[in-house]
Amino acid sequence: MTSATPIPAPPTAPFGTLFTATMSHVVFEDGAWGEPILGPVQPFSFHPAAHVLHYGSACFEGLKAHRGLDNVVRIFRAEAHVARMRQSAEVLCLPVPPQDMLDTMIREVTRASDAEVPAEPGSLYLRPTLVGTEENVGAAAAPSVSALLYVLAGPVGDYFSGGIRPLALAIETVQPRTTPTFGVVKSGANYVMALRPTLAAKKKLGVDQVLFAPGGTVQETGAANFMLIDAGRVVTPALNDNFLHGVTRDSLLRLAVDLGFVVEERDVTVDEVIAWARRSDGEAALTGTAAVLSPVGKLVYNGESIPVGDGGIGEHSMRLRKALTDLHIAAGPDPYGWLTLP
Ligand SMILES: Cc1ncc(COP(=O)(O)O)c(C=O)c1O
């Protein structure tokens, strides 16, 4: 991008509906990956018997590249996202993309999309996707021998419509978000499993999201991790196989320690969440690449609507959020080496 090229404003279109001009794709067949091809975004064609269309052999990632204050675009924690994609592929018995190959594809798409990366709070959302393509409807209990990996990108603004606003969550204590052990996999099947209870809660209770807490122990929402925050502490469920190990969660916990918060990773019960919300200084938030850190202003539980703290945007949540967004735009040092040039 030359200094004369205008920087696009953050898009107002809904998150995920705009795409840049360039993607990268590569095919796995005969036991080997081919050469990734960088080219225009265009439809793929699949045989109707493709494994993914029948047996759900699909996983993806979501990461962002941000335009820094110096106008340079940098990718945030690519290594962690590539590692998680490889883990998802492994659990789904899909061919595992080599670290270097996927990393290079992400960088090439980011570089090719440079002029389309908006200024903060916008960013470039990158969506690596892996699907099984074997043409075989008899392969219900067999892995796909062929696969397609691609990296798509799009300029994004806020994930939740209306910008930063306190979100309302319904607490669900019966249904889990997904099946045990599959929580760590970023597979489309997990999202569709959470869809029906989420739609029902939105319609019936007017909430934004559902906080899944089967048996009274908190997991996460449909697309973000959950944290309790106050002036001195950040409390969040300890990692287990039931929920996605968010890169944003990990980043925020490290920054929280740097900011002087005590971080507690342990079981978090619904009773504790409710008691926390009833405190005047209690804060709660959702965290994720898309959500960044979004404050939670209200919980709906057992038919009762409970404001979190004063129901507004908590100052400590915002302090934590700013530490992360400042890092995204290289406003200060990058002590953990999380930013990489494409
Ligand atoms: C189910 C779920 N949990 C948590 C997260 C947060 O993960 P990350 O911070 O790596 O984006 C996501 C987001 O992408 C998600 O879909």
Cα separation, 269 vs 265, in Å, equals: 12
Least confident span in 14-18, 35-39, 234-238: 14-18
Mean pLDDT on 237-241: 96
How many CB atoms are located within 10 Å of the residue 98 CB? 12
- Domain CATH number, residue 299: 3.20.10.10
pLDDT in tens, 30-71: 999 999 999 999 999 999 999 999 999 999 999 999 999 999
Structure tokens at 39: 């080219």
Q: Is 225 in the pocket of ligand 1 (CB under 6 A)?
A: yes
- Domain CATH number, residue 117: 3.30.470.10
Cα separation, 23 vs 37, in Å, equals: 8
What's this model's pTM, rounded to 2 decimal places? 0.96
Q: Flag whether 10 is in a domain.
A: no
Distances (CA, A) of 135 to 46, 53, 64, 132, 144: 9, 10, 33, 9, 8
Cα separation, 178 vs 182, in Å, equals: 7
Residues 124 and 197 in one domain: no
Number of domains in the chain: 2
Cross-strand bridge partners of residue 287 = 225, 293
Q: Is 289 in the pocket of ligand 1 (CB under 6 A)?
A: yes
Please give the number of the atom of ligand 1 that sits closest to the Cα of 186: 16
Cα separation, 144 vs 306, in Å, equals: 47
Q: Is the pLDDT of residue 176 over 80?
A: yes
Contact in structure between 80 and 251 (CB atoms under 8 Å): no
Last-in-domain residue among 121, 156, 191: 156
Query: Separation of 1 CA from ligand 1 center, angstroms?
Result: 31
Q: What is the mean pLDDT of the chain?
A: 95
Q: Is the pLDDT of residue 90 over 70?
A: yes
Atom 1 (ligand 1) nearest CA: 223
Q: Is 194 in the pocket of ligand 1 (CB under 6 A)?
A: no
Range of the domain at 44: 22-156
Q: Is the pLDDT of residue 3 over 90?
A: no
Residue 73 or 10, more confident: 73
pLDDT in tens, 96-152: 999 999 999 999 999 999 999 999 999 999 999 999 999 999 999 999 999 999 999
Cα separation, 100 vs 125, in Å, equals: 20
Q: 65: part of which helix (H) or strand (E)?
A: strand 63-67
Q: Is the pLDDT of residue 2 over 70?
A: no
Q: Flag whether 5 is in a domain.
A: no
pLDDT in tens, 261-280: 999 999 999 999 999 999 99
Q: Is 288 in the pocket of ligand 1 (CB under 6 A)?
A: yes
What is the DSSP-derived secondary structure letter of residue 173?
S
Q: Is 291 in the pocket of ligand 1 (CB under 6 A)?
A: no
Last-in-domain residue among 123, 156, 189: 156
